[in-house]
């Protein structure tokens, strides 16, 4: 079983993923893979340098994610170019990870799951949502400028639409214990459904 985990920027996808891990799920973190593997791939770095120039690299020669973000979240064409470059590499790595580490259950964080029409890649989709005011406050706590946070949120599918499209919705307006109770309910219901499907 592979669950696609999505939600609004700053709504708590990583916290939710950890709760699924606590219930025995393998975890694929798209942000970590992009940061550690995709943006360090030679072919990707060459393409980025050729397209954006040296200004998006730090003094150590690594791709500067803040510099890239400032460009792509201000220009839809540039964002589409970067996504077309990096997303296929990410999914190749994700598929390879699942082949190399056979598990019965996986949760895969994909912020742009619905934006990229990836629903069919997963058995179920889960959306993490919270109040927009709380969403912005959490992003500011991470050190993100309010204007940039709003700009990044605006580039995603509206949260209401993600909620509508998802198989399950988790509300992360309260405590971690409240979120955990919702994750447990989803996991228990899926396990119960699976057990029922195997009953003669």
- Looking up residue 151, the CATH number of its domain turns out to be 3.40.50.300
The pLDDT assigned to 198 comes to: 52
**Range with lowest mean pLDDT among 47-51, 105-109, 149-153:** 149-153
pLDDT tens, residue by residue, 177-199: 999 999 999 999 998 877 665 54
pTM for the full model?
A: 0.81
The pLDDT assigned to 38 comes to: 95
Q: Averaged over 60-81, what is the pLDDT?
A: 91
Q: Averaged over 140-169, what is the pLDDT?
A: 80
Give Cα separations from 70 to 145, 162, 177 (angstroms): 11, 25, 35
Q: 71 and 114: one domain?
A: no
Give Cα separations from 103 to 4, 21, 25, 47, 116 (angstroms): 15, 12, 8, 34, 25
Q: 1 and 58: one domain?
A: no
The pLDDT assigned to 196 comes to: 62
Share of the chain above pLDDT 70, in %: 96
Q: 91 and 128: one domain?
A: no
Q: 150 and 176: one domain?
A: yes
pLDDT tens, residue by residue, 9-30: 888 899 999 999 999 999 999 8
Give Cα separations from 198 to 66, 85, 192, 193 (angstroms): 49, 41, 10, 9
Domain boundary among the residues 74, 102, 130 is at 102
pLDDT tens, residue by residue, 104-117: 899 999 988 898 88
Q: 119 and 199: one domain?
A: yes
Q: What are phi and psi of 4, to 5 degrees?
A: -95, 120
Structure tokens that stand for 30 in this block: 């798209």
pLDDT-derived band at 101, boundaries 50, 70, 90: confident
Q: 131 and 174: one domain?
A: yes
Domain count, the chain: 2
- Average pLDDT, whole number, for the chain? 88
The pLDDT assigned to 159 comes to: 83
Domain boundary among the residues 62, 78, 102 is at 102
Distance CA 151, CA 18 (A): 27
Q: 133 and 37: one domain?
A: no
Q: 128 and 185: one domain?
A: yes
Q: For residue 35, is pLDDT > 70?
A: yes
Q: Averaged over 82-91, what is the pLDDT?
A: 91
Domain boundary among the residues 102, 133, 150 is at 102
Q: Which residue has the higher pLDDT, 142 or 109?
A: 109
Q: 61 and 97: one domain?
A: yes
Q: 131 and 93: one domain?
A: no
Q: 18 and 111: one domain?
A: yes
Domain that holds residue 56: 32-102
Q: 98 and 111: one domain?
A: no
């Amino acid at each position: 079983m592979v669950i696609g985990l999505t939600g609004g920027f700053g709504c708590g996808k990583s916290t939710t993923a950890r709760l699924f891990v606590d219930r025995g799920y393998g975890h694929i973190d798209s942000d970590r893979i992009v940061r550690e593997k995709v943006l360090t791939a030679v072919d990707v770095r060459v393409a980025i340098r050729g397209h954006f120039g040296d200004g998006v690299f730090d003094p150590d020669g690594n791709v500067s994610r803040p510099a890239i973000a400032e460009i792509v979240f201000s220009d839809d064409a540039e964002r589409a170019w970067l996504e077309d470059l990096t997303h296929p590499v990410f999914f190749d790595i994700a598929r390879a990870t699942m082949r190399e580490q056979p598990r019965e259950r996986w949760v895969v964080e994909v912020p742009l799951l619905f934006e990229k029409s990836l629903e069919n890649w997963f058995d179920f989709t889960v959306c993490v949502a919270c109040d927009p005011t709380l969403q912005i406050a959490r992003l500011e706590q991470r050190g993100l400028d309010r204007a940039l946070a709003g700009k990044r949120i605006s580039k995603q599918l509206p949260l209401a639409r993600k909620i509508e499209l998802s198989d399950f919705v988790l509300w992360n307006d309260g405590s971690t214990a409240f979120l955990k109770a919702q994750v447990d309910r989803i996991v228990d219901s899926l396990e119960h459904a699976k057990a029922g499907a195997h009953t003669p």
